[in-house]
Structure 1
Amino acid sequence: MVFYTRSRKGAAVAVITALAASAIVAAPASASAPRRRPWQDASYTPHPGDWRPYVLAPSSRDVKPASILKADPRQGKIEGRPESVLRGGGGSVRLTGAADRTGSPMLVIDFGKEVAGHVKVRVKGASSSRPGLRACFSESTRYMADEPGDNDGQGKIAPGCDTANIWNGFPGQPYTEDTDSHALPLDGKLPATVRDKQLRGGFRYVTLFLDGPGWVDVDGVSVDFTAASGQKDLDGYQGRFLSSDNLLNKIWYAGAYTVQINTGASDTAKSWPYVKGEGDHADAQVPFADPRKDVIYDGGKRDRIVWQGDLAVQAPVAYLSTNDVPAVENSLSSLAAQQLPDGYMPAESQVGQHNRDELRTYGEYVTWFVNNMHAHWLYTGDRSYLDKWWPALTKATAWLESVRAQDDKGLIAFDKAGSCGHYGYSDCGHETYVNALYVRNLAQMAELAKARGDAQAASTYAARSTSVKNAINDQLWDDKAGAYRLSREIPGAYPQDGNATAVLTGVADAERGERAMAYLRANNWDKYGSLTVSPKTPNASLPPFYAPLPSSFESDARLAGGDASGLDLIRTFWGHQLAEAPGTTFWEHMQPDGTPNLKQFSSLAHGWAAGPTITLTTRVLGVRPVTAGYSTWAVVPFAGDLTWAEGTVPTPRGGLAASWRKDRHGFRLTVRAPRGTGGRLAVPVTGSTRRVTLDGRTVWANGKATAHGVTITGGHVQIDGVGSGSHVLAAND
């Protein structure tokens, strides 16, 4: 994988309607509530119960634009009011073309947020010599090719576009032909609404331009929003989160919306590579997916295929927000059906030749298949789905074990298997990261085997998990550095992923976990978050960058250990992305200078970056499933510098609602759990806490438990065996 950087454009653009690049159009408030605008108002104060204004998903599939970003006549003309296209009716704007598209006028329309679907243009009339009307798309202003030399020459060929083609105009390669703009046919009777025949899966800006002389009158533009086509109520989330922190709230909903943008019909994948001259399109069928149901692609714009590693984040986000279980299942099943006879599980949908060339590239992603199937069981409790894919799970785990068996020291390395591909760097060695993932896989398989009644298999998996865990600590922990090495082969690097996963998977004990997190804070943290490796790492093959997957691991690990800096990391890394266009979805990767890693080719709505949506629900609100389908659950909040949080988590038995408040009198947790469930409640206590009550009954006082099932752990008083219904656990100072 190659990474590029690019500085922000210096040239100013002519803005017709003033709109900051990060501002978006808020979802409409409910009829009974006043209209609030948390996305536009930096000083907005969140209010309990007022979660709808944060929702970015449209209420209608006919999405109108927010403003005109730019109207540049260049060598042509623009007559009339460009703003007339925003809502339709009440006038029109005339675009008059030049001799060719190089000098065509550019009308740049801003939808105010990332959207996906088919552009619709209301054409009022056109000259008898009808020019070609074309649409270009971009997720950001930074990589919108509005100057001839932009994007390696794209600006003079496809003005206003970023690129979604890995072969033409990939950063550093010359852009030689238009493979990104879409033709809007004007061959029918006018006036008429012209609908783009091609899907564009992710964009914020649409640029209309003409291909040749003549004029076109436009009096309306909109988008037929096709993302998440299986979700009937796009903005009526079943899962919610709200807190006293406006930025954290926006991050939660941006993560949920990113995964919605990534969700789409299974016949809208991209089949790489395009042949020379082939235009942008997304119309391939995902192999083995049910064509009647959605899948969750890695990115809306690209690669637009299903990936195991991305689903590790996307699936839990879907469970916790839209509850789009059918799309998750369709995605997981389509990947599982690709399993090879030896048990190896391909990382991605085998859609096109580019994907088929990577059939055995990513050994790491076999671990994510096991993880994803376990997560599905944990969140849904679907025994029939588990039983269906249990043989595939055992074969995949056996393949991983066969790789480990090739090492006389008991660790996995993928060099002999030819599967060294990695989410962020190439290393064929015996890594902390991959082996920690395998430790978790084995523990997950032990749990699943136990649930299926196979005690012997459960014992075998559990024993292997312990063995690999011990091998990691014996071979990869560097006590002098206070951190885990990248691998046996690269001992002088201490990466974010290996150290964060060692903590999350239980490889690290409490002391090592604390030291590993301290190492990352002291060495990897920089202006925009936590880098993959320290900039001081003496290895040229490991350039530092910001990766959302391990960054979400690190923030999660910090909050799990009671470290409030996990909130700082979320605010810094994900907050920076929201301060840049598209300002509503999260990026694939980020360079150390804070720019997207692949310039114009970057995906700026990439679901594997949505991890904080999970962490804010499971760590800050504190709601987590303990056994399958939330039959038992835990609500263990983390407050940090927040004063309140509330939310609802969808479960197979109905919503599990929780809220907590912190003030000078103590901490109060309220939970309403579905019938047939039960679990653990916990509240933080301090030296001034006098007593803890459950539904008014004292369960802990003067440092001692006064009721059965009450313990104090990690600064929390917790009580087990709480049943369904409504409960209040309060710590009183």
Structure 2
Amino acid sequence: MALLGVLTPFVWDASATPPTATAATGTQSSSTFGAAAAGEQSGPWAEDGYRPRPGQWQPYVLAPTGRTVKPVSVLSADPRGGEIKGDPKAALGGGDSPVRLVSKGDRTLSPLLTLDFGKNVGGTVKVRVSGASETPPELHVCFSESQLYAAFDPEDNNGQAAHAPGCDTANIWNGYPGVPYTYDNDSHTLEIDPANLPATLTDTQLRGAFRYATLFLDGEGWVDVDGVSLDFGAVPKAENPAAYDGWFLSSDNELNKIWYAGAYTVQLNTWMSNTAKKWPYEPGEADHADAQVPHADPNEAVIFDGGKRDRIVWQGDLAVQAPVAYLSTDDVPAVENSLSSLAAQQLPDGYVPAASLVGQHNQNELRVYGEYVTWFIHNLYTHWLYTGDQEYVERWWPQLTRATAWLEGVRADDPKGLISFQEVGSCGHYGYSDCGHETYINALYARNLEQMARLARVTGHKADASGYASRAAAVKDAINEELWDEETGAYRLSREIPGAYPQDANATAVLTGVADDEQATRALDYLRRNSWGPYGAYTVSPSTPNASIRPFYEPLPSWFETSARLEATDSSGEVDNSALDLMRTFWGHQLSQDPGSTFWEKADPSGNPGIKQFTSLAHGWASGPTVALTTQVLGVQPTGPGYSSYAIVPNTGDLTWAQGEVPTPHGNISASWRAGRDGVVLKATAPSGTVGRLAVPTRGERVSVTLDGRTVWDGSRAVGGARASSDGEFVYVDAVGAGHHVLRSHLG
């Protein structure tokens, strides 16, 4: 939206598509953003038809290079019942004279000056005030992640505009969709001392995620403003937030932007552990984010679920956020602090609460989410796999065994051997309300048991490993016996609701190895035919007869489906782009909307944020493509603890090349591949202390393969003593030592 005239009323069409991060107007006011600075006229975030160039990944980074960030433009200047004197762009700083905001009454008559930071940011706002009336009005700052839910018109956000104009809703329950907004608990007040002006006023409270900041006044008087900035508070331990340890780049500009938006989303959720939100607020209480996460190290950061809200640590969100952190910023301390804080909350019977117990709201949900106990086990296993920190796993081994025992105790109540959380009252679910024997929950548990079997072997509990492994097989058998619908070719939601075939059930059955190759193919085909909509993949088919199971777009199971499609075996030779198409459709849609730089908590069937103004638009569990693009498209995955062994198995799809680096405890692994008419060339460099499996796709053709110029596969068998094999989809070469290697396939 262009800068409005100084005395032109604010006009905004709520039906219009919000501008993206590339549509900001005005002058560039800060050099602290990385090469992807909003307001730039070239580069991947601003240039139509931008073509990625090998090695040029830094222009995609959205994080700032320093801690001072300035707005890039004035979005709007609306005098309403007051006046705006001077050029509103003076608020961007660097001008010869300030802009004067004049109020002739309370906040309902105040002028509104809205500044655009060009992308989602977070921290504490600073406003330079050069002068004010003898008795100045209160100066407030309102925040919003998008224009769509910035409350400017009286009906916006259930009446929020009358109390906090320009804000979206970050606090529970005042202003939750469908709940009247009755008092201002979202704007922040900056105290003006007229005897000490000019002065830079610093907000006493942070705001975790916003793109737009609106200045307004409460009371008669005037205030002169000649600069606004932000102390960027996310990733507090990083001297340079834009200095990534890992990176990804490919021939597809949109997929590249998706990778970096995911990484930045997790960065915007990484804060010091004493900046949580303690809910519920008392009526009239102002916004604040200054609670300590229980059991977390107060000197270290944690990773919250969302920057705006909830601002607590959640088990399920960490399942996505932790791998993103490992693969981009390598922020292992923040992951460990988060995991430890949750592990320390375990209850005596083994149940692990889903989220940080900050405030009464979270205490009230103490035993709601049985599903998240499975994520607790998964997260500690994943941490061991990526970091190789066996000491950390051994520290929490008693908690792992008790959590597994709690889940097993729930399963033991079912004669068919499946978990249901009905009797223990822990049926909370991210997507739908079902206390039945779900495919999704039981598939996650089967994976937990396999993970525990592997951990038992390395922690000195080998005698327990076989028991975990045998129970895993039993759970998988029970899922296939009870929940696979052979006629439909898909997994049922649950035993109790057999007529629904949701996304999470079918994707996790593939990912966890519950489904065999034929079942995986049929299940994913069912989802593609029945559950895809204009903005991505629905949680359940719109044709589902059960009226209580409504379709919408959810990023967590959409990541499951994306990953399952990349993992599913296909030796037909046909290039399967369904996973890349899903990324481009669902996550690409989010980047085409406000704030155009981070990913959403959820979306409704119309493609809008799923819980309206309350939706977090920088929500870490939506960052799954960052993981999939590195581990499954570039193809670099740990197979042994801390990448002591690793695999590089690229999924090329319709891409012509990809490259990147992955941080490991031994040093970075570098990988690149290029697909051409004659085959695929994979180049890899790995540090000492690692051993790898390298692979190239066959695309259904007979291929010969060379490693460092020596033939290791002649089209049908290994030669020259090489440890090479093929499953029809790839040719693999094992026991590849440290150093630089080139694996090349040759068609014909």
Q: What TM-score range do you get, normalising by the shorter chain?
A: over 0.9
Following superposition, which runs of at least 4 residues in structure 1 exceed 4 angstroms of deviation? 11-15, 23-27, 686-690
SS in 2 for 1:704: coil
What is residue 8 of structure 2 aligned with on the other side?
Answer: none
Q: Residues 528-539 of structure 1 correspond to what in structure 2 (within 5 A)?
A: 528-539=535-546
Q: Counterparts of 2:590 and 2:147 in 1: how far apart (Å)?
A: 14
The structural deviation recorded for 1:687 is: 6.0
Q: Counterparts of 2:382 and 2:685 in 1: how far apart (Å)?
A: 23
Q: Counterparts of 2:621 and 2:62 in 1: how far apart (Å)?
A: 18
| 2:87 equivalent among 54, 57, 81 | 81
Change (3 A) 1:20 1:418: farther
AA aligned to 1:669 is L
Say whether 1:101 aligns with 2:114: no
The structural deviation recorded for 1:52 is: 0.5
SS in 2 for 1:522: helix
AA aligned to 1:476 is L
What TM-score, normalized by structure 1, do the two folds share? 0.96
Q: Counterparts of 2:29 and 2:311 in 1: how far apart (Å)?
A: 24
Say whether 1:507 aligns with 2:521: no
Change (3 A) 1:427 1:710: same
Say whether 1:228 aligns with 2:241: no
Q: Residues 104-503 of structure 1 correspond to what in structure 2 (within 5 A)?
A: 104-187=110-193, 189-503=196-510
The structural deviation recorded for 1:19 is: 2.6
Change (3 A) 1:251 1:13: closer
SS in 1 for 2:660: strand
The structural deviation recorded for 1:313 is: 0.4
Say whether 1:19 aligns with 2:24: yes
The superposition leaves residues 97-155 of structure 1 with CA deviations (integer Å, 9 ceiling, x where unpaired) of 12111011110000000000000011111111211110000000000001122111111
CA contact (8 A) 2:25 2:75 kept: no
Change (3 A) 1:471 1:11: closer
Q: Counterparts of 2:590 and 2:278 in 1: how far apart (Å)?
A: 29
Change (3 A) 1:372 1:247: same
The structural deviation recorded for 1:602 is: 0.7
What is residue 728 of structure 1 aligned with on the other side?
Answer: 742
CA contact (8 A) 2:276 2:291 kept: yes
Please list every run of 5 or more consecutive structure 1 residues that lacks an aligned counterpart in the other structure. 1-6
What is residue 611 of structure 1 aligned with on the other side?
Answer: 624
Change (3 A) 1:12 1:632: closer
The superposition leaves residues 538-583 of structure 1 with CA deviations (integer Å, 9 ceiling, x where unpaired) of 1121111111000000000001125420000000000000001111
What is residue 7 of structure 2 aligned with on the other side?
Answer: none
Change (3 A) 1:323 1:406: same
SS in 2 for 1:314: helix
CA contact (8 A) 2:18 2:146 kept: no
The structural deviation recorded for 1:455 is: 2.3
The structural deviation recorded for 1:167 is: 1.5
AA aligned to 1:694 is L
Q: Counterparts of 1:685 and 1:307 in 2: how far apart (Å)?
A: 41
Say whether 1:626 aligns with 2:633: no
What is residue 9 of structure 1 aligned with on the other side?
Answer: 14
Q: Counterparts of 1:576 and 1:451 in 2: how far apart (Å)?
A: 43
AA aligned to 2:531 is N
The structural deviation recorded for 1:714 is: 4.2
Q: Counterparts of 1:692 and 1:470 in 2: how far apart (Å)?
A: 38
CA contact (8 A) 1:88 1:221 kept: no
Q: Counterparts of 2:18 and 2:419 in 1: how far apart (Å)?
A: 53
SS in 1 for 2:268: helix
Q: Counterparts of 2:260 and 2:82 in 1: how far apart (Å)?
A: 41
Change (3 A) 1:359 1:24: farther
CA contact (8 A) 1:657 1:671 kept: yes
SS in 1 for 2:76: strand
Q: Counterparts of 1:423 and 1:653 in 2: how far apart (Å)?
A: 37
Q: Counterparts of 1:306 and 1:99 in 2: how far apart (Å)?
A: 42
Percent sequence identity is 64
AA aligned to 2:300 is K
| 1:635 equivalent among 634, 637, 648 | 648
Q: Counterparts of 2:29 and 2:719 in 1: how far apart (Å)?
A: 52
SS in 1 for 2:108: helix
Q: Counterparts of 1:593 and 1:24 in 2: how far apart (Å)?
A: 35
What is residue 3 of structure 1 aligned with on the other side?
Answer: none
CA contact (8 A) 1:70 1:109 kept: yes
AA aligned to 1:668 is V
CA contact (8 A) 2:66 2:239 kept: no
CA contact (8 A) 2:700 2:729 kept: no
The superposition leaves residues 41-75 of structure 1 with CA deviations (integer Å, 9 ceiling, x where unpaired) of 13111000000010000011100111110011111
Q: Counterparts of 1:13 and 1:692 in 2: how far apart (Å)?
A: 50
CA contact (8 A) 2:25 2:73 kept: no
The structural deviation recorded for 1:212 is: 1.3
SS in 2 for 1:102: coil
AA aligned to 1:730 is R
Change (3 A) 1:18 1:54: closer
Change (3 A) 1:219 1:386: same
Please list every run of 5 or more consecutive structure 2 residues that lacks an aligned counterpart in the other structure. 1-11, 571-575
What is residue 4 of structure 1 aligned with on the other side?
Answer: none
Change (3 A) 1:714 1:112: farther
CA contact (8 A) 1:14 1:71 kept: no
SS in 1 for 2:85: strand
The structural deviation recorded for 1:82 is: 1.1
Change (3 A) 1:13 1:46: closer
AA aligned to 1:681 is L
SS in 2 for 1:475: helix
What is the Cα-based RMSD across aligned positions, in Å? 2.1
Q: Counterparts of 2:17 and 2:592 in 1: how far apart (Å)?
A: 19
Q: Counterparts of 1:165 and 1:526 in 2: how far apart (Å)?
A: 31
The structural deviation recorded for 1:705 is: 2.1
Change (3 A) 1:411 1:676: same
Q: Counterparts of 1:710 and 1:124 in 2: how far apart (Å)?
A: 72
The structural deviation recorded for 1:25 is: 9.3
